Structure 1
Amino acid sequence: MSAVQIAPLQASDLAELAAAIRTDAVYAHLGGKAPAMQRFASGLQRALAGPPEHRRTERWLNYLVRAADSGQVLGQLQATVHDGIAEVAFLFGADSWGRGHASHGLRWLQQEVVRSCGPVDFWATAVPANLRCQALLARAGYVAVAPADAPRLLSYDDGDLVFTHRPPAA
């Protein structure tokens, strides 16, 4: 794996991020097709604006991942911290799959969440067909749980698989 740079996602990163991840190959793993650019852009703009007024106790963390050598955008990392938990997500362009970038990014994201928000339990969801995501989560120490055993997850859609990871105590 080549070195990566991780920095807060900015609105000015939108076009580069779209070029890297807004593809049918990537979105097939999410259970659909790549969204139109306007829908993609508005979703990222909502994420960057932060939680709505009625959910101000949440923290929305959004990061951009670049290759350190070339500066090429590889993908994004996200965490929504609420109610003592962190829901994590990652989305990387197909060109960077299988190179360890998402695994490295997920480890970094977990450390960043603990550093900035304190200790939490980590949760993630995946569509059943996304075997790559499930394998990455398993390698990172996440275990599958029944959706009924999970707390209220903002990222959960009916039919999703649910995973949790409780980091060892320091």
Structure 2
Amino acid sequence: MNPALNIHPLTLNHLDALGPVFGRPEVFEHFGGEVPTIESFRRHLTGALPDPGPQASAQCGGNCLVRLGNTGEVLGCIEATVHGDLAQAAFPFGELHWGHGHASLGLD
């Protein structure tokens, strides 16, 4: 993990921090459809979160919250999906953080 970023498995406690990032029209136009209400957004992400169980790991293996290491500001999240031997990663970040190389750092 790159020290410039703090990456943590996404939990219900992170949903309120992500709401303002994903509730922006500039961000949501890439997802398609209408910008969700905060309640709709919470319902969607709550359903997407796995039950961490007693063996929860500090490593990101699915959806993770990403913060700037020096300020703690929320950039967005990493969405990782594994299909057999193939892994895909998406970096839905707030538009203020586009073009700064943060997604590349998230792969380190």
For the residues of structure 2 that align with 1:99 and 1:66, how far apart are their CA atoms?
14
For the residues of structure 1 that align with 2:23 and 2:78, how far apart are their CA atoms?
15
Structure 1 consecutive aligned stretches of length 4 or more whose deviation exceeds 4 Å: none
- Alignment correspondent of 2:101: 100
Residue-by-residue CA offset, 1:103-151 (whole Å, 9 max, x unaligned): 222x24xxxxxxxxxxxxxxxxxxxxxxxxxxxxxxxxxxxxxxxxxxx
More helix by share: 1
SS where residue 17 of structure 2 aligns? helix
Gaps of at least 5 residues in structure 1 are 51-59, 109-170
Q: Does structure 2 retain, via aligned residues, the 8 Å contact 1:23–1:33?
A: no
Q: CA RMSD in A?
A: 1.9
- Alignment correspondent of 1:65: 66
TM-score normalized by structure 2?
A: 0.77
Q: Does structure 2 retain, via aligned residues, the 8 Å contact 1:21–1:94?
A: no
Partner AA of 1:24 in structure 2: P
Structure with bigger RCO (C-alpha 8 Å, 6+ apart): 2
- Alignment correspondent of 1:43: 44
For the residues of structure 2 that align with 1:32 and 1:101, how far apart are their CA atoms?
26
For the residues of structure 1 that align with 2:94 and 2:70, how far apart are their CA atoms?
17
For the residues of structure 1 that align with 2:49 and 2:18, how far apart are their CA atoms?
14
Partner AA of 1:75 in structure 2: G
For the residues of structure 2 that align with 1:35 and 1:46, how far apart are their CA atoms?
15
TM-score normalized by structure 1?
A: 0.51
- What percent identity do the matched residue pairs reach? 40
Gaps of at least 5 residues in structure 2 are 52-60
